[in-house]
Every structure is written in structure tokens, then in C-alpha cells.
């Protein structure tokens, strides 16, 4: 079956929106689903283990609320700390720790590593980069949450909002629902259009099969569904040959005699 002129270009144009929609969907899912998974994990852990800082694969995201570490770490930054072997910590490392009896986490720099002391193990003297004095109490190794690894500048407010139910609904749930609805509608109309094209192709194929069968049988080929009868007028002999007027007369007796006289 031959393709109609421009059919390939039409199919290509129809495929471009479909491809763009798939790419947008993949990007949205790849961005929003991890955010939802991380937030849900942190929220669940914060309720099931209220005495511990919630982590995901050993990484704890923390929101900076004070300027004690400026200019290294700024207020409203989102920082990440990773659990580490405290024996590998050294002077100059930035650690996050939770003082005994406190519900907040402090992120300061180690200025001195103290030797182990009984059950407390190693201890660390810390100080904020912006502060003029060291922290009063040394940090016990069991209080260490993790070592600072990186930060996202100014993302703390957004992260804090996303941890709330309203933020989850606005930035995660609603975009996902809207995309799923869009994807369902897009697939529905695309399948409907494709089905119509397949039905038309099937009708054309059946017509060609009938034509081939009639030609093999020697019968007249069936007319196409949209074909119209064509009438050819009979030729006008008089108009085609104007020098002929009527039918020629049979030869007479005089003509026959003249012919006989010419014989010798």
C-alpha cells in the first residue's frame, strides 16, 4: 500500500508532541518523586524516632536558622551532613551535633580533638566561625550527627515549607495529579486518533485485496467506494468525417459495359 504524499511528514509532526510530552513527564516524575520520598522518610522517622535526627541513607538535611557559621554557611541555607566514623574527625572539620537534652542541632567547626575520657569516648571542642569564643561544653562523640559535606544556598525556607502538609500538597501532590490527568487525556486522544487511521488503512487494504482477487478471476475490478461512473459519448461519424455524405451507391450497368469494352 502506497503512502499518500506528505503522509510521512504528518506522522512525524504528530510524533513530536507525543515525544515532548513523554520527556516532560519523565522530568517531572524524576524530580518530584524523589522529593516526595525523601520528605515522607524524614517525616516518618521524626515521629518514630523523636530523639534522633532523621536521615536518608546516612545523610541528614538540615536548615540553618542562625548566623554562627557565617560566611561559610548562611542563614536559610540547606546543608547536608553525613554520618562518619568519629575516629576520622579532625581539627577543621565542620560537624553537626545534638547536645545532650537539646532538641536542636548545632553545626560548628572543630577547633580541637580531645582524647577519649571513659564512657564518653572522644570529645571535640567546637566554635562557630562568626563567634568570638568557643562553645562552653565539649561535644561527646555519641552526640555527633555527621560531618558537613555541602549546602544549597537559600533553599532552607523552601525545604522547611515542603516538610509541612501544605507544602507537600502544593509542590508535590498537585503537580503530580495534574500531570497524570494530562497524560491520561493525551494517551486517550492519541489512541483514538491512531485507531481511526488504522481503520482507514484496513479499509484501503481490503479494497486492494478485492481488486487483486477480481483481476485474477478476470472480472471487472470493483469500483472504489468514492468512485463515480464516467460516461463517454459515442463518436459522431459525420462530424469526424465531413467529406463523406451518405453511403456510396453500387456500380451501375453502364460502368460495367465501359469496363468490358476496354478488354481486348
State pLDDT tens for residues 207-235. 777 777 777 776 555 555 555 555 555 55
97 vs 20: CA distance, rounded Å: 46
Tell me which H or E stretch contains 73: none
At which residue does the C-alpha cell 553545626 appear? 107
154 vs 141: CA distance, rounded Å: 30
Q: For residue 99, give the DSSP letter.
A: -
pLDDT digit string, tens, across residues 61-109: 999 999 999 999 999 999 999 999 999 999 999 999 998 878 889 999 9
Can you read off the three cell numbers belonging to residue 193? 486518533
128: helix, strand or coil: coil
Strands 106-114 and 123-127: antiparallel
81: helix, strand or coil: strand
End-to-end CA, the chain:
77
| pTM value > 0.75 | no
Q: For residue 56, give the DSSP letter.
A: B
Amino acid at each position: 500500500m502506497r503512502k499518500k504524499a506528505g503522509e510521512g511528514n504528518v506522522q512525524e509532526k504528530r510524533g513530536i508532541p507525543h515525544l515532548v510530552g513523554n520527556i516532560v513527564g519523565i522530568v517531572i516524575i524524576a524530580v518530584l518523586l524523589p522529593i516526595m520520598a525523601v520528605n515522607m522518610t524524614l517525616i516518618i522517622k521524626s515521629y518514630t524516632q523523636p530523639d534522633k535526627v532523621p536521615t536518608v541513607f546516612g545523610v541528614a538535611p538540615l536548615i540553618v536558622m542562625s548566623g554562627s557559621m557565617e560566611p561559610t554557611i548562611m542563614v536559610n541555607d540547606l546543608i547536608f551532613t553525613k554520618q562518619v566514623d568519629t575516629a576520622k574527625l579532625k581539627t577543621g572539620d565542620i560537624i553537626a551535633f545534638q547536645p545532650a537534652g537539646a532538641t536542636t542541632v548545632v553545626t560548628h567547626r572543630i577547633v580541637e580533638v580531645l582524647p577519649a575520657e571513659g564512657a564518653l569516648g572522644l570529645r571535640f571542642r567546637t566554635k562557630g566561625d562568626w563567634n568570638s569564643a568557643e562553645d562552653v561544653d565539649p561535644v561527646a562523640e555519641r552526640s555527633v550527627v555527621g560531618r558537613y559535606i555541602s549546602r544549597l544556598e537559600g533553599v532552607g525556607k523552601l525545604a522547611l515549607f515542603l516538610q509541612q502538609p501544605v507544602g507537600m500538597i502544593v509542590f508535590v501532590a498537585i503537580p503530580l495529579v495534574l500531570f497524570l490527568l494530562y497524560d491520561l487525556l493525551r494517551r486517550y486522544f492519541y489512541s483514538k486518533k491512531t485507531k481511526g487511521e488504522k481503520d482507514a488503512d484496513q479499509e484501503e487494504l481490503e479494497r486492494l485485496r478485492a481488486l487483486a482477487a477480481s483481476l485474477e478471476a478476470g472480472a471487472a475490478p470493483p469500483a472504489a467506494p468514492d468512485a463515480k461512473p464516467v460516461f463517454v459519448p459515442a463518436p459522431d461519424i459525420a462530424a469526424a468525417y465531413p467529406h463523406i455524405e451518405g453511403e456510396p451507391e453500387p456500380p451501375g450497368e453502364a460502368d460495367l459495359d465501359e469496363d468490358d469494352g476496354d478488354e481486348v
